[in-house]
Structure 1
Amino acid sequence: MKRTIISTISVVVLSTVLSGCMDKLEILPNDQIITENFFEEGSPEEIESGVNSMYQRLQSSYMYNLRMWTLDIVAGEGRVGNEAGGNGLETTQLSNFTATSDNSGAKELWRGPWAGISRTNWILTNIDKSPKISDAKKTQYKGEAHFLRGLYYFNLVRLFGDVPWIDKQQTASDDLQVSRTSKDIVYQHIIDDFSDAASMLPAVYENTTDIGRATKGAAFGLLAKVYLTLKRYNETLVAIDSVMNLGVYSLNRKYEWNFSDLRENGPESLFEVQYEKDVTAYSEFDILGQGGWHHEYMAPLASINIGGPWGNFGWFAVYPEFVESYEPGDLRKSVSVWCEGDVYQGWSYDPTCSQTGHNVKKFLCENIGVDRAMDSPLNFPVLRFADVLLMQAEALNELGRSSEAAALASSENDGGPLNRVRVRAGLPNVTTTDQVELREIIRHERRMELAFEGGHRWFDLVRYDNDGEYAKTFFQSIGKTNFTTPKHLLLPVPIDDIDANPNLLPNNPGY
């Protein structure tokens, strides 16, 4: 069941313009000015629309509607297709490791989270002032704010390293020439945010109109991912146990159900970005738009129009190396990538549609809006239970508990975490308990299970070791010889922002 809970909010120094929405986007007037006594006088509905606004930046092209999934191109899973007229040049430069500090893709990834962070701080600073909101609801709203601030910062710190830590609403009297904060300190703040969120949020929501909000399980799941990134494996397992003990999550019986607009926010979903079609308040490329871009960007550039009125862009051409990495019988292959002989509504996929012979299929949506472009209703997954299981397998293996990581499974519902994921994919159980062998198997399994889902592969490549040699070896194996360490483990802070605020110097190594 789909419920869109996203609002929009523009935070200026002295005033805020709010356009809120609940369910099918019940829009407040775009010219409504949020005064300093908004929280004291605002109705519960108005306050909720402000809370909802914290989620909006996740929807934008600066994050999960474009930039986050193009990190899978940077990670070497494919190339930009349809480069006519310079389309995707910034992503091509990033993926060829030739980008400089004026790269627009890096700039959008840098700038994308800050509006969301500002909104979370706005809520955390002011929500207790509202006399019309119950204490229980205030706790929930603060939990959502902590969760989202943690998520926004988690993406920032993994991409850019040291970033400014801002944890309060900024005003005209504040010094806006902020400096970068050590990534170690930022990570501790992220851990605190997810921990606070887990203590404040419900495991499930009673009201179906709240589907899509952050939950206790989402907070524990992302906390586990933070600990795994920091190689704090015991703490990873504690956070994952907290997810398991909720009794809320399970693997979908079929892998493809994770990418159906008819099965969104299902039992495998810990958190996903909500999208909705036919919301006409915004134009197709509006950063505040509610429709998903994934279908039209990724669908094959073909004679058949399986997109909106503009057709398909064929923008993610998948490398044969990735396609050939599927094991025989892997059921995920036909769900994730277009291959010769694939048929859709009587049309057979032609490999000449793509410069590589393949395109991404995972976000194909038959229910896409036909009258508007860039208007898919299909949500985008941020964290799935399969990811949690594979994190559990990795942590167990790194702690020498390899037999637990690879315990035999008879179905997706029982057995060791690695083999539960493999059995669901139609693959045989892994039987080795050799730690080194199992490490590579788990890494391979993460690559195939989470392909094209918002940069998982990139973040995995750069976290597997401390010096980037694992990533370097992989990129060299696919001919990406420009990759160097430590330079390409991080993106550059945009030169425009450094020119405006020299306190952001020094830039990341090599830029």
Structure 2
Amino acid sequence: MRRIFRNKFTYLSIGALFLGSVACKDSFLEVPVTGQVSLDQITSKKGVEGLLIGVYSVMNGRDSGPWHAGASNWLWGSIRGGDANKGTNSGDFSSMNPIENFETEPTNTEVLSKWRGSFEGVARANQVLAILPKVTDVSDADVTRITGEARFLRGHYYFELRKTFKKVPWVDETMDYKTGAETVPNTEEIWANIEADFRYAYENLPETQSEVGRANKWAAGAFLGKVLLYQNKYSEAKTVFDDVIANGQTTNGKKYGLFPSFKGLFRLSNENSQESVFAYQATGAAQNTNNANTDLAMNYPYNTGTSGPGNCCGFFHPSFEMASSFRTNANGLPLLDGSYKTTANELKTDQTVTSSSAFSIDEGNVDPRLDHTIGRRGVPFLDWGPHPGQDWIRDQTYAGPYTPKKYSYSSAESSSLDGSGWTPGYTATNFMIMRFADVLLMAAECEVEVGSLAKALEYVNMIRERASNEAGFVKASDNAEKAFATVSNEAAMLALTEINPKQWVIRSDRNSTFVYLGGERNKLTSWNEYKQPVYKIGLYSSADFATQAQARDRVRFERKLELAMEGQRFFDLVRWDVVEGDITAYFAYETKKIPTHFPAKVEFKKGQDEYLPIPQAEIDLQGKDILKQNDGY
């Protein structure tokens, strides 16, 4: 495949790597290409290590987008899975509209971006593996390690391609880049190849590494288990997950575990914690955003003169359905019968209520993870103050009342630079491609299918117990960072004479936040009170896991809640073979909430929409006799 091998390194030339140099009698006419390095420079330990870093560097998708080529999969896994809608307004980034409505055409530019961004990573991994045998100043141990890292990364990029496109050509370092590149069809299944790459890495990589961002044995094991799970090889996956859970550790030597507080899990100060199995290592830079967390740079509240994170761009708005999924019953358990979508149980919202009008937040029981996943009016948005609702949303009638919250940066993080700086929207916060909670829930799936229901219960309750840690609950005091004042009684609040509309005070006597809406400051009717949300989360009992069907439903719903907005949902629905029913039900509910967001008829077409079309540009480049289009397109 010609495109697969088109190298985009600024410091490497394919000609230098594979074609060699041409002798000339008049050597003074030979002018080196600007930015090109010699084969001698590449065939050294330093050179091949540099190439390996280049393989890691495209995980954020920057090389081909950057918005939809990276591993966060917020469009491909979360929006298509019903976690969220596109957000912003109908005209902004309109190439996303048909994707979330399952009207994707092979000519869609975002589809091409995901394909090319992933194959860029494959090409770079293959270059490392092709050049490594030519390197002479490298030890056997380093050869094994570099091979393991390159194969892990190739496995990662191919996993992205297989779960997204299904029909994918397998190209490795053994193929001739000049003659084989145009004759690789996509008619053969590649799961075994991906599995082999991760297995090699699992069996050969060291447990710890010299640099925290590198893949290690246990990250490879976690991904191997995931690939096995995607093939329904539950027994094999269980064996690997058992090993990872019992013995796994991070690259920097921390035994895998859940971070104590869900509240702190996605913060810059806690990155590379015991929960981070494998993460894209982001850096912020004032002049260069290539290594920042660019994949999520558009997904902040749409601020227009209101203090908050971002200032751009208002994408990726959590859905009504996802928000209401966090409703819990009197025992703190989710409403697995779907009744969270009924009028009696669905989450109260400020849809159509202006930020200058009074609004009281929902007072029913909710899972505390709701307010670390989704921004909603009246609840502290990290340390920026109470979410103001419409003022942070570009077009609420189109996007709905919620904003994304995971991986949003706090005010404290934005003012205390990480050393390399920040660019607005481009943060230095790592994105965890896999975290330990994901491993536990995948292991729980395996236990449900081929193991012990009691063990599955144990794993799920570990996740829920962490969420129940009150130290991680959102509190009114979280609003204090930018509050006008903190007072202990009503009289002190009403005596504040300098406060302006939409500023807030903390009432310690009521554990609540009061926002001044305007009018006479000394009258309580001029203020809006936001009370503390009612958090209620409980553990499951053995009776809840008494049958395989019960256990399966609970494990799957726990994945929905725990991994919401992390690019997982759609791929889970496909591998469980429930995607048609779930997405149909999602559209039936969501279109009633924001009808202007969706076309008159929107439907999921079974047998087609489980996968994206092969980009037409690639078929045109390779030939339709080489690349076959997916069914239905």
Output the TM-score relative to the length of structure 2: 0.69
Cα separation, 1, equivalents of 2:95 and 2:307: 27
Is 1:164 the counterpart of 2:169 in the alignment? yes
8 Å contact kept, 2:441–2:555: yes
Cα separation, 1, equivalents of 2:46 and 2:286: 20
* SS of match in other structure, 1:9: coil
> How many angstroms does 1:73 deviate by?
1.1
Cα separation, 1, equivalents of 2:9 and 2:88: 34
Q: What residue is the counterpart of 1:425 in the other structure?
A: 467
With over 3 angstroms needed to count, the CA separation of the structure-2 counterparts of 1:66 and 1:162, relative to structure 1, is closer
Q: Which amino acid aligns with 1:82?
A: T
Q: What residue is the counterpart of 2:521 in the other structure?
A: none
Instruction: Pick one of 90, 94, 100 that aligns with 1:95.
Output: 100
Cα separation, 1, equivalents of 2:436 and 2:585: 27
> How many angstroms does 1:188 deviate by?
0.2
Q: Which amino acid aligns with 2:57?
A: Q
Q: What residue is the counterpart of 1:246 in the other structure?
A: 247
Cα separation, 1, equivalents of 2:296 and 2:106: 30
* SS of match in other structure, 1:343: coil
8 Å contact kept, 1:197–1:216: yes
> How many angstroms does 1:402 deviate by?
1.6
8 Å contact kept, 1:79–1:316: yes
Q: What residue is the counterpart of 1:267 in the other structure?
A: 274
Is 1:278 the counterpart of 2:285 in the alignment? yes
> How many angstroms does 1:477 deviate by?
4.3
* SS of match in other structure, 1:397: helix
Query: How far does the alpha carbon of each residue in 1:228-281 deviate from its partner, in whole angstroms, 9 at most, with x for none?
Result: 11111001101102212324201110113321111111101110111101162x
Once the two structures are superposed, the pairs formed by residues 171-210 of structure 1 within 5 Å of their partners are: 173-182=178-187, 184=189, 186-205=190-209, 207=210, 210=211
Q: What residue is the counterpart of 1:79 in the other structure?
A: 85
Q: Which amino acid aligns with 1:35?
A: S
8 Å contact kept, 1:13–1:172: no
Cα separation, 2, equivalents of 1:183 and 1:272: 30
* SS of match in other structure, 2:432: strand
Once the two structures are superposed, the pairs formed by residues 403-442 of structure 1 within 5 Å of their partners are: 403-406=454-457, 416-426=458-468, 427-431=537-541, 432-433=544-545, 434-442=547-555
Instruction: Pick one of 143, 146, 149 that aligns with 1:144.
Output: 149
Cα separation, 2, equivalents of 1:336 and 1:137: 41
With over 3 angstroms needed to count, the CA separation of the structure-2 counterparts of 1:49 and 1:510, relative to structure 1, is same
Of 88-97 and 394-403, more deviation after overlay is shown by: 394-403
> How many angstroms does 1:144 deviate by?
0.3
CA-atom RMSD in angstroms: 2.6
8 Å contact kept, 1:157–1:183: no
8 Å contact kept, 1:336–1:360: yes
Is 1:35 the counterpart of 2:145 in the alignment? no
> How many angstroms does 1:218 deviate by?
0.7
Cα separation, 1, equivalents of 2:570 and 2:388: 29
Query: How far does the alpha carbon of each residue in 1:139-182 deviate from its partner, in whole angstroms, 9 at most, with x for none?
Result: 11111011001010011011111211001166553232234334
Query: How far does the alpha carbon of each residue in 1:38-64 deviate from its partner, in whole angstroms, 9 at most, with x for none?
Result: 444x3x333321111111110224588
Query: How far does the alpha carbon of each residue in 1:9-66 deviate from its partner, in whole angstroms, 9 at most, with x for none?
Result: 356542469xxxxxxxxxxxx94424344444x3x33332111111111022458864
> How many angstroms does 1:395 deviate by?
0.9
> How many angstroms does 1:120 deviate by?
0.9
Of 443-452 and 338-347, more deviation after overlay is shown by: 338-347
With over 3 angstroms needed to count, the CA separation of the structure-2 counterparts of 1:143 and 1:57, relative to structure 1, is same
Q: What residue is the counterpart of 1:4 in the other structure?
A: none
With over 3 angstroms needed to count, the CA separation of the structure-2 counterparts of 1:405 and 1:214, relative to structure 1, is same
With over 3 angstroms needed to count, the CA separation of the structure-2 counterparts of 1:172 and 1:462, relative to structure 1, is closer
* SS of match in other structure, 1:175: coil
Instruction: Pick one of 566, 569, 573 that aligns with 1:461.
Output: 573
Larger Rg: 2
Once the two structures are superposed, the pairs formed by residues 114-153 of structure 1 within 5 Å of their partners are: 114-153=119-158
With over 3 angstroms needed to count, the CA separation of the structure-2 counterparts of 1:452 and 1:63, relative to structure 1, is farther
The percent of aligned pairs where both chains have the same amino acid is: 28
Of 188-197 and 438-447, more deviation after overlay is shown by: 438-447
With over 3 angstroms needed to count, the CA separation of the structure-2 counterparts of 1:77 and 1:235, relative to structure 1, is same
* SS of match in other structure, 2:277: strand
Q: Which amino acid aligns with 1:425?
A: A
Instruction: Pick one of 360, 368, 373 that aligns with 1:336.
Output: 373
Of 476-485 and 217-226, more deviation after overlay is shown by: 476-485
Q: Which amino acid aligns with 2:93?
A: G
* SS of match in other structure, 1:79: strand
8 Å contact kept, 2:292–2:426: yes
Q: Which amino acid aligns with 1:69?
A: W
Cα separation, 1, equivalents of 2:65 and 2:242: 29
Cα separation, 2, equivalents of 1:253 and 1:233: 29
* SS of match in other structure, 2:317: strand
Cα separation, 2, equivalents of 1:421 and 1:64: 32
Cα separation, 1, equivalents of 2:54 and 2:171: 18
With over 3 angstroms needed to count, the CA separation of the structure-2 counterparts of 1:172 and 1:469, relative to structure 1, is closer
Cα separation, 2, equivalents of 1:470 and 1:219: 33
* SS of match in other structure, 1:382: strand
Q: What residue is the counterpart of 2:603 in the other structure?
A: 482
8 Å contact kept, 2:169–2:188: no
8 Å contact kept, 2:186–2:627: no
* SS of match in other structure, 2:185: coil
Q: Which amino acid aligns with 1:419?
A: N
> How many angstroms does 1:295 deviate by?
5.7
> How many angstroms does 1:220 deviate by?
0.5
Runs (4 or more) in structure 1 with deviation over 6 Å come to none
> How many angstroms does 1:196 deviate by?
0.2
With over 3 angstroms needed to count, the CA separation of the structure-2 counterparts of 1:152 and 1:217, relative to structure 1, is same
> How many angstroms does 1:329 deviate by?
4.3
Of 498-507 and 109-118, more deviation after overlay is shown by: 498-507
Once the two structures are superposed, the pairs formed by residues 374-393 of structure 1 within 5 Å of their partners are: 374-393=425-444
Q: What residue is the counterpart of 2:341 in the other structure?
A: none
Of 218-227 and 478-487, more deviation after overlay is shown by: 478-487
Q: Structure 1 unaligned runs (5+)?
A: 1-7, 18-29, 407-415
> How many angstroms does 1:346 deviate by?
5.3
Cα separation, 2, equivalents of 1:166 and 1:474: 39
> How many angstroms does 1:347 deviate by?
3.6
Query: How far does the alpha carbon of each residue in 1:442-477 deviate from its partner, in whole angstroms, 9 at most, with x for none?
Result: 111101111122x21111011102x85444554454
Q: What residue is the counterpart of 2:629 in the other structure?
A: 507
Q: Which amino acid aligns with 1:507?
A: Q
Q: What residue is the counterpart of 1:325 in the other structure?
A: 325
> How many angstroms does 1:75 deviate by?
1.4
8 Å contact kept, 2:68–2:113: no
Cα separation, 1, equivalents of 2:446 and 2:300: 36
Instruction: Pick one of 363, 367, 390 that aligns with 2:407.
Output: 363
Q: Which amino acid aligns with 1:500?
A: L
With over 3 angstroms needed to count, the CA separation of the structure-2 counterparts of 1:381 and 1:313, relative to structure 1, is same
Cα separation, 1, equivalents of 2:295 and 2:167: 30
Cα separation, 2, equivalents of 1:397 and 1:172: 45
* SS of match in other structure, 2:609: helix
Of 31-40 and 323-332, more deviation after overlay is shown by: 31-40
Output the TM-score relative to the length of structure 1: 0.85
User: Number of paired residues?
Assistant: 468
8 Å contact kept, 1:296–1:307: no
Cα separation, 2, equivalents of 1:148 and 1:256: 30
